Amino acid sequence: MDVSVILERINENGYRASAFVPAPTVAEAATREQAVDRIRVMLSERLAGAEVIQVAVPAAAKPNAWLAIAGTWRDHPDVDQVVENIQAYRREVDADPDRL
């Protein structure tokens, strides 16, 4: 298993290796290599009797706010004119050579 580890210098002669997933673990040592070796051993010991699994958690369903107004203009007599105005504006914007 590959585990992402944050490796940082903590003072002039020390390093800290930190892992947050799958188990929060921190190791400090005098050298970079020692810190990495220590966290590797600590994680191996911690995870030796464990199983890493994936759990699906459903997101809370939020109602779509747009559905409340969907279709309200469908039979309105001005819809065709509004659509034409939008299209005309879009053509005008697209034709502008200075637009972003």
- Confidence class of residue 28 from pLDDT cuts 50, 70 and 90? very high
- Decide: 69 and 55 in contact? Cβ < 8 Å: no
pLDDT score at 82: 92
Backbone angles phi, psi at 55, to 5 degrees: -125, 125
pLDDT score at 8: 93
Domains of the chain, by residue range, sit at: 6-47, 65-95
Give percent of the chain with pLDDT exceeding 70: 100
State which amino acid sits at residue 14: G
The C-alpha angle 58, 61, 63, rounded to 5 degrees, equals: 165
The whole-number average pLDDT for the span 74-94 is 92
- Flag whether the pTM goes above 0.85: no
Cα(45)–Cα(38) distance, rounded to whole angstroms?
A: 11
Please give the helix or strand (H or E) that residue 87 lies within, else none: helix 79-95
